[in-house]
Amino acid sequence: MHVKLLALCLAAWPGAALAETLVFAAASLGGPLDRAVAAWEAQGGAPVTVSYAGSSALARQIAAGAPADLFVSASPEWMDAVEAEGLVVTGSRRDLLGNALVLVSGESAAEPVEIGPDLDLAAMLKGGRLAMALVEAVPAGQYGRAALENLGLWDGVAPRVAQSENVRAALALVASGAAPLGVVYATDAVAEPRVTVIGRFPADSHPPIRYPAALIEGAEDEAAGLLDFLSGPEAGAIFAEAGFAVPE
């Protein structure tokens, strides 16, 4: 009788089921990562909850003790910061994805431009703002500033930059017409029909855009399986369709 009672209690207790996996992920992954997680759950994987934000904010939350199982950053720098705190499971870190940086306009008929040292980006703003993610903290903003500085364009536009807490918020400024131009990831631009890509930043104008992923100390057992799935061919096809570069 005691055994039967214990079995009934375990069946009714949420912990008896597969533990939920908590993923902290860069805002630019919203959409494709949701679809990859749905594919994971559809094949019997543990349920997943994803918290999206700028990588800097997520890294600080993890360092402060937030209960993440898996961290996917849009920048090696912020993964390095978490690893320096001793919070990354040894041997679990890997580069999951790559991306590119583009200039977008809110005008559907905007003409394409060649992004280089001769581009008069300040004049293109026509008194408006250049939307970017936080240039000192958020990876998309950091990559964008590095590209603009390397091309000699930063000083001309710095006073006109409208900074947002993450790259999706910067994209929304352009999509809504609040800013005429923005610097965002190529994958974000693809996902927003209200903006037009008018230029692609040279790959050598900024550090390579990489998305490292790693398990966080104390992670639920199922998180390792999810990380392997996200690194595998099925999830890779989902990310590639969204425009991400997938390591071979």
Shared-domain flag, residues 124 and 198 = yes
Per-residue model confidence (pLDDT) at position 191: 85
Domain of residue 179, CATH code: 3.40.190.10
* pLDDT per residue as tens digits for the range 140-191: 999 999 999 999 999 999 999 999 999 999 999 999 999 999 999 999 998 8
Does the reported pTM lie above 0.85?
no
Shared-domain flag, residues 119 and 94 = no
Shared-domain flag, residues 29 and 40 = yes
- The torsion angle over the Cα atoms of residues 88, 92, 94 and 96, rounded to 10 degrees, is -100
Q: Rounded to whole angstroms, how far apart are CA atoms 216 and 223? A: 9
Annotated binding site for molybdate: 28, 55, 140, 167, 185
Per-residue model confidence (pLDDT) at position 2: 40
Shared-domain flag, residues 144 and 225 = no
Number of domains making up the chain: 2
Per-residue model confidence (pLDDT) at position 59: 97
Shared-domain flag, residues 7 and 61 = yes
Higher-confidence residue of 240 and 13: namely 240
Annotated binding site: 28, 55, 140, 167, 185
Per-residue model confidence (pLDDT) at position 11: 38
Q: Looking at the predicted structure, is the pLDDT value of residue 8 above 90?
A: no
Looking at the domain assignment, is residue 246 inside a domain? Answer: no
- The torsion angle over the Cα atoms of residues 159, 155, 197 and 204, rounded to 10 degrees, is -150
Shared-domain flag, residues 117 and 201 = yes
Per-residue model confidence (pLDDT) at position 19: 80
Q: Looking at the predicted structure, is the pLDDT value of residue 209 above 90?
A: yes
Looking at the domain assignment, is residue 77 inside a domain? Answer: yes
Looking at the domain assignment, is residue 247 inside a domain? Answer: no
Show the domain range for 112: 101-205
If phi over 0 gives left and psi between -120 and 50 gives alpha, with beta otherwise, what is residue 135? Answer: alpha
Shared-domain flag, residues 113 and 43 = no
Per-residue model confidence (pLDDT) at position 20: 92
Per-residue model confidence (pLDDT) at position 182: 98
Distance (Å) of CA 154 to CA 145, 150, 157, 203: 7, 8, 5, 17
**3-class DSSP assignment, residue 93:** coil
Shared-domain flag, residues 154 and 85 = no
Percent of the chain with pLDDT over 70: 93
Shared-domain flag, residues 85 and 119 = no
Per-residue model confidence (pLDDT) at position 40: 98
* pLDDT per residue as tens digits for the range 90-119: 999 999 999 999 999 999 999 999 999 999
* pLDDT per residue as tens digits for the range 20-69: 999 999 999 999 999 999 999 999 999 999 999 989 999 999 999 999 99
φ and ψ at residue 49, rounded to 5 degrees: -120, 130
Shared-domain flag, residues 150 and 229 = no
Shared-domain flag, residues 124 and 200 = yes
Looking at residues 4-26, what average pLDDT do you find?
Answer: 59
